[in-house]
Structures are given as C-alpha cells and as structure tokens.
Amino acid sequence: KNEVEQSPQNLTAQEGEFITINCSYSVGISALHWLQQHPGGGIVSLFMLSSGKKKHGRLIATINIQEKHSSLHITASHPRDSAVYICAVRKGGADGLTFGKGTHLIIQP
C-alpha cells in the first residue's frame, strides 16, 4: 500500500463547479504539500501545511493531523485549473517528499 493515497485519480467537471481532491497518508509527517503540474510538466507548490487551513485565491487546503487526511478545494473552477494535482508529504525527520500518484483534473467550459 502506498504511503500517500489520493482520490479521485481522475476528475472531470464543468466550469464553475466546486472541486474537492482528497489525500490520506499512513506515516508521521512534519508537513504536507499540494503541488500542481500542468501539461508540459512544470511543478508548482500551491500550499505547504502542517496544521489547520490555508487559502489562496480560489484554492483552499485543509489538513487533519489526527485523521492523517488533507483536502484541496477549488471554488468556482475554471478551465485553466485543469492540471494534475499532487499531494506530497515530508515524513518526520526527513527532508525529501513522498508523493501521491496525483489527481488528473479537467474542467470543461
């Protein structure tokens, strides 16, 4: 079993819909990252969380340390949000990231 599991693997939605991507992990962590990868391959860190909730524009990320679960929400989704969203954790005591398999999101106009 992978240490970081994401769901769903693929998600297609209509423009304007509220999007939720989930991440569960089975190891102790010091931080969790949500990453965005566009076609063409570049990876951008959207959020780094160790507790609670963060918001940036239409994106919201939450984490529940006790339940070992995090969610990424996109409000008022737009076709330019189409990308692969990757959950990654920094295991306690380590600096490198362990990644989920990613969620391939397509927002149709």
Partner 1 sequence: DAGVIQSPRHEVTEMGQEVTLRCKPISGHNSLFWYRQTMMRGLELLIYFNNNVPIDDSGMPEDRFSAKMPNASFSTLKIQPSEPRDSAVYFCASSPRQHARRNSGNTIYFGEGSWLTVV
Among 27, 43, 76, 106, binds partner 1 (CB under 8 A): 43
Among 86, 103, 105, 107, binds partner 1 (CB under 8 A): 86
Q: Which is nearer to partner 1, 38 or 78 (CB)?
A: 38
**Does residue 67 interact with partner 1 by CB under 8 A?**
no
**3-class DSSP string for the chain:** CCCEEEECCEEEEECCCCEEEEEEECCCEEEEEEEEECCCCCEEEEEEECCEEEEECCEEEEEECCCCEEEEEECCCCHHHCEEEEEEEEECCCCCEEECCCEEEEEEC
Among 11, 48, 60, 65, binds partner 1 (CB under 8 A): 48
